[in-house]
Each structure stands twice: as structure tokens, then as C-alpha cells.
Amino acid sequence: MSSSSPVFPASAAEPGRYAACTVHAVRAYGTGDTEVRALDDVTVGFPSGRYTAVMGPSGSGKSTLLHCLAGLDTLTGGQVLLGDTDLGTLSDKQLTRLRRDRIGFVFQAFNLLPTLTAGENVTLPAALAGTTLDPEWVERVVGAVGLGDRLGHRPGELSGGQQQRVAVARALATRPELILADEPTGNLDSRSGAEVLGLLREAVDSLGQTVLMVTHDPVAAGYADTVVFLADGRIADRMESPTPQAVLDRMKAFDLPKAGVSL
């Protein structure tokens, strides 16, 4: 079911092998008795051109890991590398540029701009980066997430699920090398969710992009090449070629109510 080693052999000495990796990453919140180690010595690599799901009980550090990989949160110790770029060496301005040019985000808060239409929200990152979008790809992305007839609407005129689809289309439109997704199907019905997951799969298979997705859903994790399990801020396990049933069985070893898995 799972490999013998719970930790990837990630190392700063292996540039290029991983789209992103952490090396002995620690993220502590608070001090003294109230200190919480959201990440507690996490060394993990996310190979280029692969789809990895991150799972684990609530509070295990999944979102913190994603935020630190994106440079949206800062480590207390250790390193985060994107390709061979050590995020700890970058200025705020350089971090902003790296996020804009190399990462696509699909987070729970959709972060859409309310005054722009759905279509404008999708193309905004490219406009900001000064890059030209491939119209065929954008059309495919927009069609695949089922937004075709909603492009002229503003986010406030869209349902939560529709807003999430805009966020997914926005993340894919520029074909960034790394897509970070936090519960990308959380607000979608199962059919739309399957479309979004299939689209992320296609981004990996057809375009060689790297997807890293936090999810509580074993079915969603079944789309990934690898599942990494976090528990108490540490890498607890990993699984290659996951099936929803195998993932569910593994999750049963964790605290089910906290893991948000309903049986």
C-alpha cells in the first residue's frame, strides 16, 4: 500500500528533480507553552511533472505546507525550494514576481476581484505578467470548467462553485510550472469536481505541469500519482498510484472525525 520510507529523499543538492521541496521545514506559531509546530521538520519533494495530493487530519499542517511552498508564509527553520530557487533568499518583490510567473493558485478563498468579470479574472495574471495567453488553451480551460456562458458575470453574480471554477481556470490559463490547490473541489458538485480534477490531471499529463493539491477527499486523491500523508506537522506516510479505497483505508488510521471523512 505504501512505500517503506515515509520521507522523500528531498535535498537542496538535487536541483531540477523537484518542482518544489522542503528541507527540514519548521513552522512554529506562538512561543513557549503555547507554541504550535504546524510543520515539524518536514523534508519532502514534489517531483516535476507529477500530481501529488497532500492529505491528513484537520490541523496536521496541510495548508501551512502549501502556504510556505507558495512563499505566502515564512518558515521558522529549514528551507523551501522552488526548482533550485531558495525562497528564503528572495526579497518580497522577488517573491511576488516568482508567485506571479511560476505558480498558479486555487485556494479555498477564491480571491477573485469583485469588480472584474469572470473572464477578466481568468486572464488577469497573464495581463499583469505581460505574457500572451494561448487563446485555444484558454477556451479549452474555460469550457472544461463549464464557464462558457458565465464569462461576462462578476463574481458576486456567481455561485460558490462557479467562482471556484473561475479560480481553477485562472490558475491554469497561464500554464504555470507549479499549481498549488487547496481543496479545489470543496465547493463543487461531484460532476464539476470530476471535471476540475480531470483538468488538473490533463495539465500534468499533456503539459508537464506539476500539481500539488491539498484534499480531504479520497476520490480526489485518486486522481494523483502520489499521496503524501501529514500528521501532527510531520510526514506520516506516502502512497504511489493511490486508489480512493486505499486512501480511505489509510485515512482510517487517523482520527476520522477530525479528518473530515464521512463514511
Ligand X SMILES: Nc1ncnc2c1ncn2[C@@H]1O[C@H](COP(=O)(O)OP(=O)(O)OP(=O)(O)O)[C@@H](O)[C@H]1O
> Least Å distance between CB 189 and ligand X?
21
Judged by beta carbon, residue 52 or residue 123, the one nearer ligand X is 52
- Burial (CB count within 10 angstroms: exposed 0-12, middle 13-18, buried 19+), residue 13: exposed
Instruction: Check if the beta carbon of residue 142 is closer than 8 Å to that of residue 171.
Output: no
CB hemisphere CA count around 176 (13 angstroms): 29
Task: Give the residue from 12, 16, 13, 167 showing the smallest Cα distance to 88.
Answer: 12
> Least Å distance between CB 6 and ligand X?
17
Judged by beta carbon, residue 66 or residue 178, the one nearer ligand X is 66
Q: Which of 43, 64, 117, 162 binds ligand X (CB under 6 A)?
A: 64
Judged by beta carbon, residue 56 or residue 104, the one nearer ligand X is 56
Task: Give the residue from 239, 248, 224 showing the smallest Cα distance to 52.
Answer: 224
Instruction: Check if the beta carbon of residue 169 is closer than 8 Å to that of residue 122.
Output: yes
Residue 74 touches ligand X, criterion: CB under 6 A: no
Candidate ranges 17-25, 60-68, 161-169, 170-178; the one touching ligand X (CB under 6 A)? 60-68
Judged by beta carbon, residue 145 or residue 261, the one nearer ligand X is 261
d(CA 8, CA 47): 10
Judged by beta carbon, residue 232 or residue 249, the one nearer ligand X is 232
Q: Which of 22, 46, 53, 62 binds ligand X (CB under 6 A)?
A: 62
Q: Which three cell numbers stand for residue 101?
A: 510567473
Q: Which three cell numbers stand for residue 196?
A: 476540475
Q: Which of 22, 43, 52, 60 binds ligand X (CB under 6 A)?
A: 60
Q: Which of 21, 45, 51, 61 binds ligand X (CB under 6 A)?
A: 61
The CB density around residue 252, as the number of other CB atoms within 10 Å, is 12
The CB density around residue 144, as the number of other CB atoms within 10 Å, is 18
> Least Å distance between CB 147 and ligand X?
26
Instruction: Check if the beta carbon of residue 176 is closer than 8 Å to that of residue 209.
Output: yes
Q: Which residue has the cell 490533463?
A: 202
> Least Å distance between CB 126 and ligand X?
29
Q: Which of 52, 63, 163, 226 binds ligand X (CB under 6 A)?
A: 63
> Least Å distance between CB 175 and ligand X?
27
Residues that bind ligand X (CB under 6 A): 29, 36, 38, 56, 58-64
